């Protein structure tokens, strides 16, 4: 494992971003990572609520103190548990653009970002704020909902679509799974039972098993007559999955997963993190 694993965690001091920081620090312990806590200050937004502090000096000093306090807390809890370092950084400007630019600058291995939950994701996944990082980021990203509090993941569920990159994605997933002795379910959801799906599934299993030796990995083919996302949520619920994993290449998957109509019917993702793999 590389000793240069770097985790970037954007913080706005909301409850969901603090949950993300807990995930970032706990993962940092396992990956023996460098953790960077990052805050983007938006001067234009601040001027609207504090016009008398025209240069934002008081606000900046207040934020720096809060960032330092978070840094101290992480160092105290995680430095002796495997985390290599924890630094803080700040920038001014648009949140998403500045965060992604900084991720490129420090060559972040993983971005861990908080989200208010499914409602926040569905409203902003193709637009603005933290959740749009899922679509715009060049780096792997873990979206942590507001109601997700860190616990050892018992099971990671990878949504497979039978593409060549599945094996590379599973290498990353198994690396994390080994930290926690987690089960890994490789799941393909089909809209109906077809002979071709069974053949593709058998072909994928035959190809991947010799490449990745992990005794707690299983391959699952499920048919669901309704939408893909509802079928996946149904599987996550029944299998008690703790983290959903997908590849960024699957735009159709995200179109369905975060559509407004489906979001009203879905509840499981409100409390479960989503890990989107971008690079290999």
Q: What is the pLDDT of residues 72-120, one digit of tens each?
A: 999 999 999 999 999 999 998 888 899 999 999 999 999 999 886 444 4
Clarify whether residues 141 and 44 are in a common domain.
yes
Task: Specify the CATH number for the domain of residue 49.
Answer: 3.40.50.620
* Residue 188 φ/ψ region, left for φ over 0, alpha for ψ in the -120 to 50 degree band, beta for the rest: beta
Clarify whether residues 246 and 222 are in a common domain.
yes
SS3 157: strand
Among 106, 123, 145, which residue terminates a domain? Answer: 145
Quickly state the pLDDT bin for 216 (edges 50, 70, 90).
very high
CB 39 within 8 A of CB 10: yes
Clarify whether residues 46 and 165 are in a common domain.
no
The residues near 248 (Cβ < 8 Å, ≥ 6 apart) are 134, 276, 277, 278
Q: Sign (positive/negative) of CA torsion 131, 75, 13, 94?
A: negative
Query: Does residue 278 belong to any structural domain of this protein?
Result: no
Clarify whether residues 115 and 161 are in a common domain.
no
Residue 231's pLDDT is what? Answer: 78
Between vectors from CA 113 to CA 109 and to CA 116, what angle results, nearest 5°?
Answer: 160
- Beta-strand pair 6-10/155-159: unpaired
Give the sheet arrangement for strand 6-10, strand by strand: 85-92, 34-41, 6-10, 110-115, 140-145, 274-277, 243-247, 155-159, 183-190, 217-223
CA 144 – CA 118 distance, rounded (Å):
10
Query: Does residue 64 belong to any structural domain of this protein?
Result: yes
Query: Does residue 279 belong to any structural domain of this protein?
Result: no
Please report how the helices 15-31 and 166-180 are oriented relative to each other, as an axis angle in degrees rounded to 10: 90
Among 145, 169, 186, which residue terminates a domain? Answer: 145
Instruction: Choose the weakest-confidence range: 27-31, 152-156, 192-196, 203-207.
Output: 192-196
The structural domain count of the chain equals 2
Q: Which of 63-67, 212-216, 250-254, 270-274 has the highest mean pLDDT?
A: 212-216
What distances in angstroms separate CA 75 from CA 26, 71, 150, 272, one per listed residue? 11, 6, 17, 26
CA 56 – CA 207 distance, rounded (Å):
57
The chain-wide mean pLDDT, for the chain, equals 83
Quickly state the pLDDT bin for 39 (edges 50, 70, 90).
very high
CA 56 – CA 58 distance, rounded (Å):
6
Clarify whether residues 204 and 73 are in a common domain.
no
Among 119, 145, 171, which residue terminates a domain? Answer: 145
CA 54 – CA 202 distance, rounded (Å):
64
Query: Does residue 118 belong to any structural domain of this protein?
Result: yes
- In the chain, % of residues over pLDDT 70: 76
Residue 270's pLDDT is what? Answer: 61
Query: Which residue range is the domain that position 119 belongs to?
Result: 6-145
Query: Does residue 150 belong to any structural domain of this protein?
Result: no
Clarify whether residues 80 and 22 are in a common domain.
yes
What is the value of pTM for the model shown? 0.88
CA 277 – CA 34 distance, rounded (Å):
19
189: nearest Cα among 235, 157, 155: 235
Higher pLDDT, 210 or 56: 210
């Amino acid at each position: 494992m590389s000793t240069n694993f770097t985790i970037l965690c954007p913080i706005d001091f909301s409850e969901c971003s603090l949950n993300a920081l807990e995930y970032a620090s706990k993962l940092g312990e396992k990956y023996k990572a460098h953790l960077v806590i990052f805050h983007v200050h938006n001067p234009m937004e601040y001027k609207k609520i504090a016009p008398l502090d025209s240069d934002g000096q008081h606000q900046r000093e207040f934020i720096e103190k809060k960032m330092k306090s978070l840094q101290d807390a992480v160092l105290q809890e995680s430095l002796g548990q495997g985390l290599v370092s924890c630094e803080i950084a700040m920038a001014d400007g648009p949140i998403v653009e500045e965060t992604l630019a900084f991720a490129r600058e420090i060559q972040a291995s993983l971005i861990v970002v908080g989200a208010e939950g499914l409602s926040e994701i569905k409203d902003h996944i193709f637009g603005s704020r933290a959740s749009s990082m899922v679509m715009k980021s060049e780096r792997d990203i873990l979206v942590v909902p507001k109601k997700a509090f860190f616990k050892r993941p018992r099971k990671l569920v990878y949504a497979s679509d039978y593409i060549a990159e599945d094996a590379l994605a599973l290498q990353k997933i198994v690396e994390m799974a080994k930290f926690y002795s987690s089960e890994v379910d490789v799941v393909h959801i089909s809209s109906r039972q077809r002979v071709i799906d069974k053949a593709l599934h058998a072909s994928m299993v035959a190809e991947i098993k010799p490449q990745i030796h992990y005794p707690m990995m299983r391959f699952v083919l499920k048919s669901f007559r309704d939408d893909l996302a509802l079928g996946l949520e149904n599987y996550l619920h029944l299998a008690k999955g703790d983290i959903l994993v997908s590849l960024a290449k699957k735009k159709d998957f995200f179109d369905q997963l975060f559509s407004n109509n489906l979001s009203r019917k879905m509840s499981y993702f409100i409390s479960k993190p989503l890990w989107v793999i971008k690079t290999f």
